[in-house]
Structure 1
């Protein structure tokens, strides 16, 4: 007897299975970026880096600490969203409109739209420098650069921001007590937050649980199971340090009336190698932190004070950088070796991305495949 063709129901189940697999796989993309530092003498050429990221990884956002022309050219036609930086020492000059216009003409306009520049950062952790001329000039420089963007009709495609260390906080524990340092709060940060609201740009911070953890809080920092930290003021339980750091920033913003702004994680990471006496500084711990970080910030769970949010997040860093000064761990934050082999695997490579994003994905797909097979066999029987 001739077999009948698959029923509409079987076809629908098959389509659903394929769609679900696609959605689960693509869920790892969209909000994870990487900081591309270049303080090394052994890195591959920018063109090779750009094509590696485009073809072999899920990373579609890159933050640069400068605006090097060879890197901007290398990322042309990749579609990767690029964030460039005006170095700190340019901030006093950037308050002059002609300088801001010239900087745009030299470092941005020749490369767009082929290179997808989406954000310009004015300096990095400026408030932590204790340099009065930089701090006083920060917001005026951002405003002047915004004026230059508008004049060049680029304000709709490029945002302006600046990243901050958590040193901008005078208190952060419990998270509900978070507030900005006195003096900076009203004189610098309130005008800066007003700028972000007016330009629909994010407030960017560099939270590093690595710098705050101890032997007693290592599990809490690495997103491992732990007893958590209870905030008596809000009656909320924190099960990881990153959430506590982000909510301390949020609380400080709320005190100034800016809790509606987007928060972007401009830098965070964990080193894979340190000195022999350090606890939790190894490849396994780095893989735990960054892998759990990726899953957490993209999950939509948010934080206790910011539920149901995802966070655009930039992991520090793309490569180990052998020319960085300081202790061993400073040179070992990289996801990749200079030869572009992974230091550890957290699903950044496309070949492993789906399983890393959802550890149960393989089992889900297998069960769906079995169900579909049974339906089709029954229909043909």
Structure 2
């Protein structure tokens, strides 16, 4: 979806785990009892049986942060909200707004910047590319975790010959500028595409790139992506291809499916079919080894009366099932056992966007940060404090086993999570202390099921609960110098299970 503002894997930047480290602080009297009274004998008994979480590395859930509105909260408030109250661990911006880049400093949230289409011809010039990196990237790193620069958005769909001819040279020029600045290992260059780059997509096994673009633009671009270890980014939108007849297929709800007779595969949801069509097109040009990132996908909660399947319930069905599906590790029929880095469109309802009603209502949140509907994207402590705007439960099963959502409530089970007001420094001390005791902190290390979101708060929640469950499970075992709180809402998500 073109946005009016526009036409290497993440590392731990906030902290490092030291599993055998000594306690980095002296616990107060609130902590002395739970930490030391029972641990010498108790931990020796339970350490061999502490939870061992195995599984695929969960795909990361991001969001497109658009700003075509006059009622949005300041960037600093948005960054704090995403960090403290949601499981979102990455954002895509449609420009290089310095206020937003500064707001995400020291959060650990991965940031992708989009360069507007109209700047593409200028970026071909090495001097301009170097200046762009100098003024839009270097002042903000490493404090802000910038992971990608995206050159335009859906450029091939513009049919603008000047932009299309300069797309790959601009990407190459920017990469050279990153090399000169010694940032090429940290920041990738890519560009998102609509599915209009395909000449055929049904059945998925026959997916091919459009003739003319395939050899002159797409093949050189795929070669560049392979050489720079960058992903192909696409914007699949089942919403725009849905009808009254295939609505359940688009929403991941139970449906008869669509059969690909060429391969004998039954597709049970439209997103898989769209992704596999892209994969088939890549494979036809011998580039099936490239990763695919979903740069945009979403569903509006309001629309024009003539639109099919538009409402908060349908939006919750799609985005909720989307989240579970892309992190499940099942992948697609042609790309099994994969997860997909995915960016939901969009963070906010944007009241100044032109076009039909739906264009202004793709947001997960209202400008006051209340959810438009609930899909399990809020952390438990945020759920209890945030009023509900619309009810849109995710009821429909998907083609993968369901993972526990963050909204599961237990009448007897309790989990220990950080208090909202707890400082990052205090939570880091909790991480260092618990891991230093010898409890298994592997799940929050890179490639672990609880690594994402890669934030101190997210990692502290896991280890604080691991300690609480490993001890006697009394209220004081969750004190952590007054930074912990008990909840009856299961914090588990995706492959990350809180025991």
When normalised by structure 1's length, the TM-score is 0.89
Match of 2:116 in 1: 87
Match of 1:69 in 2: 98
Find the residue that maps to 2:128 and give its secondary structure: helix
Match of 1:379 in 2: none
- Tell me the CA shift for residue 276 of structure 1: 2.2
Quick check: 1:299 aligned with 2:328? Answer: yes
Q: Is the 8 A contact 1:34 1:62 kept in 2?
A: yes
Higher helix share: 1
Q: 1:268 to 1:28 in 2, by over 3 A?
A: farther
Quick check: 1:343 aligned with 2:372? Answer: yes
Give the Cα–Cα distance (whole angstroms) in 2 for the partners of residues 265 and 142 of structure 1. 19
Quick check: 1:42 aligned with 2:64? Answer: no
Q: Is the 8 A contact 1:335 1:344 kept in 2?
A: yes
Q: 1:76 to 1:287 in 2, by over 3 A?
A: same
Match of 2:268 in 1: 239
| 1:1-381 equivalences in 2 (<5 Å) | 11=46, 15-16=50-51, 31-351=60-380, 358-359=403-404, 362=408
Give the Cα–Cα distance (whole angstroms) in 1 for the partners of residues 129 and 155 of structure 2. 18
Find the residue that maps to 2:199 and give its secondary structure: strand
Give the Cα–Cα distance (whole angstroms) in 2 for the partners of residues 346 and 135 of structure 1. 38
Give the Cα–Cα distance (whole angstroms) in 2 for the partners of residues 345 and 259 of structure 1. 36
- Tell me the CA shift for residue 368 of structure 1: 12
Q: Is the 8 A contact 1:178 1:249 kept in 2?
A: yes
Give the Cα–Cα distance (whole angstroms) in 2 for the partners of residues 159 and 104 of structure 1. 12
Runs of 4+ in 1 over 4 A off after TM superposition: 5-10, 27-30, 352-357, 360-369
- Tell me the CA shift for residue 277 of structure 1: 2.8
Match of 2:459 in 1: none
Find the residue that maps to 1:119 and give its secondary structure: strand
Unaligned runs of 5+ in 1: 377-381
Q: 1:203 to 1:14 in 2, by over 3 A?
A: same
Unaligned runs of 5+ in 2: 1-39, 384-392, 395-401, 416-468, 473-499
- Tell me the CA shift for residue 106 of structure 1: 1.1
- Tell me the CA shift for residue 278 of structure 1: 2.3
Which deviations, in whole Å up to 9, do the C-alpha atoms of 1:215-248 show, x marking residues without a partner?
0000000000111111001101100000000000
Give the Cα–Cα distance (whole angstroms) in 1 for the partners of residues 315 and 63 of structure 2. 15
Q: 1:66 to 1:265 in 2, by over 3 A?
A: same
Which deviations, in whole Å up to 9, do the C-alpha atoms of 1:341-379 show, x marking residues without a partner?
00001111111899987248859997999xxx9xx9xxx
Which deviations, in whole Å up to 9, do the C-alpha atoms of 1:133-180 show, x marking residues without a partner?
000000000000000000000001000000000000000000001000
When normalised by structure 2's length, the TM-score is 0.68
Which deviations, in whole Å up to 9, do the C-alpha atoms of 1:251-295 show, x marking residues without a partner?
000011100000000000000001223221000000000000000
Give the Cα–Cα distance (whole angstroms) in 2 for the partners of residues 122 and 346 of structure 1. 31
Q: 1:85 to 1:190 in 2, by over 3 A?
A: same
Match of 2:418 in 1: none
Q: CA RMSD in A?
A: 2.8
Q: Is the 8 A contact 2:376 2:405 kept in 1?
A: no
Find the residue that maps to 1:121 and give its secondary structure: strand
Q: 1:28 to 1:250 in 2, by over 3 A?
A: closer
Q: Is the 8 A contact 2:59 2:342 kept in 1?
A: no
